[in-house]
Structure 1
């Protein structure tokens, strides 16, 4: 320590790298602590003196077990070692390390099965399945499949023929009623019954309460019709009973009574 209490080494700016100590030999490659043939220089490897970074730190000991891959990976990164074997054909260059195909037969079979299943479902849903009777997004693919079928087989069933040639383009798709909250919200925002806003995106759709009210009216009409039928049936029965009673009275009258 100096007289002013500061370290004299701190006063000297480190503008250049310190020269190598006497006897230091250039290493053949970045030091590999797990390679028995790669001897560590006595003076140490320059990468050992690099400034610390955000890299994870080990306990300070090399991995005792070669299966401790995480620790070996950290050590290799700290020492800036990349295991690239030298090329035998091109001096001064390294071999290109290719990825090893580590997938087992089961993994390959599972991947193939998943891909075939997904593509099969997509092709079946697009070309070979009739979703509904309306003109939807998959209808052209369905008709293409029917044209190919007609070209190969030469004949189609009645339903397939109608789907291919006699389909209705303007057949409206039935709409489900809106929930009461959504209908009331649209009514508050003036989106119901307005000609300016009643376009293909904001439609004047009916709500659940309208369906319930219509069913209530229909039920009342059915009940009145049933009551009217019961009254008519009862009147017919009464008329039949009255007619039978009058016939009996006529039969019981003496022959001399005209009135």
Structure 2
């Protein structure tokens, strides 16, 4: 038996036949290392070589997503061995990574969004006209009528006496239109700064009115021209009749 600390304790055991220099971490002094004598095939592949199982180039050795795919295809799961039950593995517990603050924030966001949606659809009256939200409003009024037994005057009219063909008012014209109309005396003095300021007509309305007036004037001129032509024909006929009456017959000598 050799003494501890002698040079024979640090001698390397002989390599098996066909052994090649490994390119992967390998401890020749570990008797549990079951590396084959020819080496693993992955030891002779460059890190940036094309992977056979993924078809992608591993440009970075820290690309854990590709490593995860490779391990899943190889059905290799690195599970730590159990300390209590030999030959079995430890069972990893699923940790709830969501904190109380994150749960509260998610719940607050969902409640706020759904609250605004439900309030906007069923409990808010957008306007007096028929639009995409009107059926939800009427459904809410029907439920309210069933629960309470009656409705007030406005809600009753909204539910039963609404005009589906009522036109939605147009967007008012810009203020500069009103100012220009006032400068050009298109709006009377008594119509400035009153409660109907948004109902004033603008340049578009003036152009349409001028077009209608022009069509009326053209029609009137055409009728007048036709009347003048007819009058001229009547005058010509009268002149011709007078000339014929003043003409002396050929058989009269005096």
Q: Same fold (TM over 0.5)?
A: no
TM-score (norm 1): 0.44
